[in-house]
């Protein structure tokens, strides 16, 4: 599943999807019905073949500042207004909120962290690309045309957003678990150095001569 998730978020898959969308648009404007499945599949295969085979750049090679991430997320969410159904807007809003909540934790993740890379790339590339591929379609086509026996382009968009949303949920869980482990480790450190045994020892130590012990006696 992890391997499949990496491929779904790869440039090869994204380029294939984009070319498949272009084929759908061309079909809407004149490709005979018998040929559009061939055009869509062919467009995807061309993108998958010519797309970059190397992995995306390492995180230390592509660094995004928090304001860049926020601006990309805001732009993606704003593009859904009036152009997508409420449930799609809600999913995009949830992805946006998850990433915004994770931003303060980015500096705590190592430069080569996969989680850090996925957070940033989702904000500035994966989410905008997914939305733009859908919004490039005419509204009547996006909601009314069947790309297979069951799904419309809108259904495909929902599936892709659900994948991004689930991935951000997994990343958030992993990040918060690491933060919790650090908190517990700090608690163990404090208990070790300033725990109940140490406090009892301090309480049983008699005050130094000349120091008022607080009982009011002279």
pLDDT of 60? 44
CB 95 within 8 A of CB 160: no
Residues 110-116: contacts with CB under 8 Å, at least 24 apart: 111/59, 111/60, 112/58, 112/59, 112/60, 113/59, 115/171, 115/174, 115/175, 116/59
* Structure confidence at residue 147 (pLDDT): 83
Predicted confidence at residue 178, as pLDDT, reads 80
Distance CA 60, CA 208 (A): 57
**Helix (H) or strand (E) run with residue 73 in it:** helix 66-79
Query: Whole-angstrom Cα distance, residue 78 to residue 182?
Result: 37
Residues 69, 97: contact at Cβ < 8 Å?
no
Residues lower than pLDDT 50 in the chain:
7, 36, 56-61, 199, 201, 218
Cβ of 166: how many Cβ atoms within 10 Å? 12
pLDDT in tens, 10-54: 555 555 555 556 555 555 555 555 554 555 555 555 555 555 555
Q: Which residues contact 91 (CB under 8 A, 6 or more apart)?
A: 158, 161, 162, 165
Token pair of 141 as six digits: 């086509």
Radius of gyration of the chain (CA): 27
Place of tokens 């991430």: 69
CA-closest candidate to residue 52, choices 3, 10, 105, 89? 10
37, 29 contact by CB (below 8 A): no
CA pair distance 147, 189, nearest whole angstrom: 58
Give residue limits of the domains in the chain. Answer: 1-53, 64-193
């Amino acid at each position: 599943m992890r391997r499949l998730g990496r491929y779904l978020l790869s440039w090869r898959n994204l380029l294939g999807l984009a070319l498949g969308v272009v084929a759908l648009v061309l079909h809407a404007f004149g490709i005979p019905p018998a040929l559009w499945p061939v055009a869509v599949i062919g467009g995807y295969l061309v993108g998958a073949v010519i797309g970059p085979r190397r992995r995306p750049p390492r995180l230390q090679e592509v660094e995004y500042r928090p304001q860049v991430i926020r601006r990309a997320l805001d732009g993606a969410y704003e593009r859904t207004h009036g152009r997508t159904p409420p449930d799609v807007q809600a999913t995009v809003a949830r992805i946006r909120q998850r990433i915004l909540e994770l931003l303060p934790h980015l500096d705590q993740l190592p430069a080569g962290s996969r989680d850090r890379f996925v957070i940033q790339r989702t904000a500035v590339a994966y989410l905008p690309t997914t939305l733009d591929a859908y919004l490039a379609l005419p509204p009547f086509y996006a909601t009314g045309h069947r790309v297979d026996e069951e799904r419309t382009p809108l259904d495909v968009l929902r599936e892709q957003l659900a994948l991004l949303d689930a991935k951000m949920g997994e990343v958030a869980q992993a990040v918060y678990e690491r933060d919790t482990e650090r908190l517990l480790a700090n608690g163990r450190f404090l208990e070790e150095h300033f725990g109940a045994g140490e406090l009892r020892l301090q309480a049983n130590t008699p005050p130094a001569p000349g120091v008022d012990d607080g009982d009011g006696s002279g």
